[in-house]
Structure 1
C-alpha cells in the first residue's frame, strides 16, 4: 500500500466520524473586509450624529459615535479596535484643528488680561488635579485616569492620549464626556441668567459662525485645494517632528504645534478641518473610545458614579468662583468670564457664546489657551504621577513589612 501523504491525512475523516451532508440551500456568507466594515460603521455613526445635530445635541458626532461604538462592542458585533492608520490620522487632524484656534487678532484682544488669564488657567489646572487626587484616594480609580478625566479642555485630545499615559481610556472618556454634557446642558441657562442679572452682559459683541452641518467646505478657507494640501503637510510634518522631538503623544501634539506655527505666521490661512472632514474626525475619535466599553466597565462606572459626579460638581463650582474673581479683576462681564472659564467642550461653549451675544473673541482665546496649556502640561503631570505612585506603593509595602 502506498504511504498516505500529510495532505491526504488532513482531509480524510477519522473512523467513526460521520461526514456532514451538504445542505443544498446553505450559502457561505463572506465576512466584509475590515476596512469596508469600519467604513459602514463610520457611515452609521455619522448618520446618527447628523440626526442628533438637528435636535441640538452638543458635540453630536463625537457623542453619537461613542454610543454607536459602545453598543457594537457590548453586543459583540465588534471585538477589535479602530484600525491604527485611521486612529493616527484622526489624532493628527484633531491636533491641527486645536492649533488653528489661536490667531494674532484673538491674542491681541486678550493681551490686556494676560496676567489674570494665566493665573486663572493655572488655578483651574491645579483645582482639577487636586480634585482628581481626592477622587483617586479610594483606590478604585488610578491617579492618571482621575487626572485625565478631570482636567478641562480638549476632551477629544485628552482621550486620544489616555492609552499612552497608562490610563483607563474608558473611565477617562466617561468622565470627560459626562462633564462636557453637563456643562453644555447648563451653560445656556447659566449664561441667560447671568446676562439678565448683569447690564454689562447684554452688550452686543462680534460673533463667529458656527461649524455647520453641511458637507462642504472641508477646510476653513476659500481655497479648498490649498487648504487640504496645507492640512496634510501640517499633519505629516507635525507627526514626524513630534516623534523626532519625543514629545508626549506625537501624533496629536506634533500637528498641534505645527498648526500653531502656521496659523501665527499667516502664510496659509484656512486649513483647519471643517464640515464633513471635521465631523468624520470626531466620528473616528468617538468610535475608538466607544468600542472599548465592556459590561465590566459599566459596572465599575456605576459604582463610581457618585464620586465622579461629586468631583465634577467641585470642579465646576471652583471654575465658577474663578470666573467671578476674573470678572472682578478685569472688569469683564460676568457672563463672558463664566463662558471663558467653564470646564466644558470648546465647541459647545462657543455655540453658547454666539447665541448669548457674548464676547466670542475673548472666550475663544481663553478657552483655546487653556486647551493648549492643558494638553501640553497634563501628560507631564500624568507621567509624574505614574512614576511616583509605584515608588510610594513600594515604600508603604516596605513599611508594613518592617512592622
Structure 2
C-alpha cells in the first residue's frame, strides 16, 4: 500500500487527469464526458499500479445521486412506458439476456476461457452476484470480475461514441432542470429522499438498492409534487466522476497480469454481446417508432447507472431506455445465475 503522502499525490494526479479528459470530451460534445474522462484516467492509473481504491460507500452514494437525477428526468413515465409497452419491453430484455447466454455457451464450449468462466462473465449485468456465484461453482472470481468490468467499460465507451455520432451537439451533462434553483432546502430534501430510498431498497433486498431505491422513491414523490428533486450541478458531476473512478480503478496491474492470457477471449465475448444487442436495436427501430440511439441504449448490456447518465445527456426517449434497463437489471439478477449454472452443466466435463 502506498504511503498517505503518496496516496494524496496520486489522487491529486488522478483528479487532474480526469478533469483534463472530462473537459476535453465535453468540448468534443461526448455524452457522459464527466463519467467517461475519469473512467479512462482511472483505468490508466490502475493498470500502472497506482493501488488506489474508491470506497464502496462513496460509490453507493454516487449511485443514489444518479438515482435522484433519473427520478427528476423521467418521473412517472417509466411506469407508464412499462404498462403501455410491457410485452415488447420483456422481449427486448429477453433478447439481451439470451444474447449474453449464447455468447457464454459458445465461449465455454470453445474453451476460449478456462472452465465455466465465460458462463458467468458474459451475463449482461449483475456483476457482484455473478462474481459471488462463480467462485461457488469453481470459476475464477478474479477473471469473472475482470470480464464484467471490461463489459461495463466497453458499454460506456461504445454508447458514448454512438451517442456522439448520432447527435448534433447534444449535451453531455444532466438536464438543466436537474440543477436549477439548487437552494439549500430542496437539496436537503433530495438528500433525504436519496438516503430513505436507499435504506428502504436495501431493507427489501432489491438489486442495485443504492440506485434503484432513490430512483423509484424520488420518481413517485417528484411526479406527485410531494417533493422536488433538485441537485447542484457540482454534486452530479462528482457522482459521475466517482462512478468512473470506481469502475476504472478495478483494472489493476495485478488483475490484468493474472488474466492477460484470457484477455482476447474476454474482448471477443464483450464485443459479441454488444454487437448482438446492437443488431437487435436496429431491428427494434422497425418494430417501434423509436430512433436507433434510443434502441441502442435500451438494449446495451449494462450497467444501469452509466447508461442512465448517457441517456439523460442525449436526445433520446429516456423513459423507454430506463424502463428497459431497470427491468433488465431485475431479470438478469434472477435468471443470470440460473443460466450460468445451466451452461456449466450443458458443457461436457472435458470442456470445463
Superposition TM-score tier, normalisation by shorter sequence: 0.7 to 0.9
Match of 2:320 in 1: 366
Match of 1:279 in 2: 237
Could you report, residue by residue, the CA deviation over 1:118-163 in whole angstroms, capped at 9, with x for unpaired residues? 332333333333334434543433433221xx35xxxxxx668776
What is the DSSP-based 3-state SS (H/G/I as helix, E as strand, rest coil) of the residue aligned with 2:51?
A: coil
- Distance in 2, matches of 1:218 and 1:43, equals 28
Which structure's residues are more often helix, by fraction? 2
TM-score w.r.t. the length of structure 2 is: 0.72
Which one has the largest radius of gyration? 1
Report the Cα offset of residue 241 of structure 1: 1.5
Match of 1:260 in 2: 219
Report the Cα offset of residue 268 of structure 1: 1.8
Match of 2:25 in 1: 52
Q: 1:75 to 1:217 in 2, by over 3 A?
A: same
- Stretches of structure 1 lacking an aligned partner (at least 5 in a row): 1-29, 152-157, 193-206, 355-359
TM-score w.r.t. the length of structure 1 is: 0.65
List aligned pairs for 1:143-158, cutoff 5 A: 143-147=119-123, 150-151=124-125
In 1, are the aligned partners of 2:71 and 2:218 still within 8 Å (CA)? yes
Equivalent in 91, 97, 104 of residue 119 of structure 1: 91
- Distance in 2, matches of 1:383 and 1:95, equals 26
C-alpha RMSD over aligned residues: 4.2
Equivalent in 220, 231, 238 of residue 197 of structure 2: 238
Q: 1:266 to 1:48 in 2, by over 3 A?
A: same
In 1, are the aligned partners of 2:121 and 2:148 still within 8 Å (CA)? yes
Equivalent in 247, 252, 258 of residue 289 of structure 1: 247
List aligned pairs for 1:10-159, cutoff 5 A: 31-32=4-5, 38=11, 41-42=14-15, 44-76=17-49, 78-104=50-76, 108=80, 112-137=84-109, 138=111, 139-140=113-114, 141-147=117-123, 150-151=124-125
Q: 1:237 to 1:270 in 2, by over 3 A?
A: closer
Could you report, residue by residue, the CA deviation over 1:232-258 in whole angstroms, capped at 9, with x for unpaired residues? 112221232233223334334333333
Q: 1:329 to 1:247 in 2, by over 3 A?
A: closer
Match of 1:3 in 2: none
In 2, are the aligned partners of 1:320 and 1:342 still within 8 Å (CA)? no
- Distance in 2, matches of 1:36 and 1:84, equals 21
What is the DSSP-based 3-state SS (H/G/I as helix, E as strand, rest coil) of the residue aligned with 1:32?
A: helix
In 2, are the aligned partners of 1:38 and 1:82 still within 8 Å (CA)? no
1 or 2 for the larger relative contact order (CA 8 Å, sep ≥6)? 2
Aligned residues: 330
- Distance in 1, matches of 2:5 and 2:15, equals 14
What is the DSSP-based 3-state SS (H/G/I as helix, E as strand, rest coil) of the residue aligned with 1:242?
A: helix
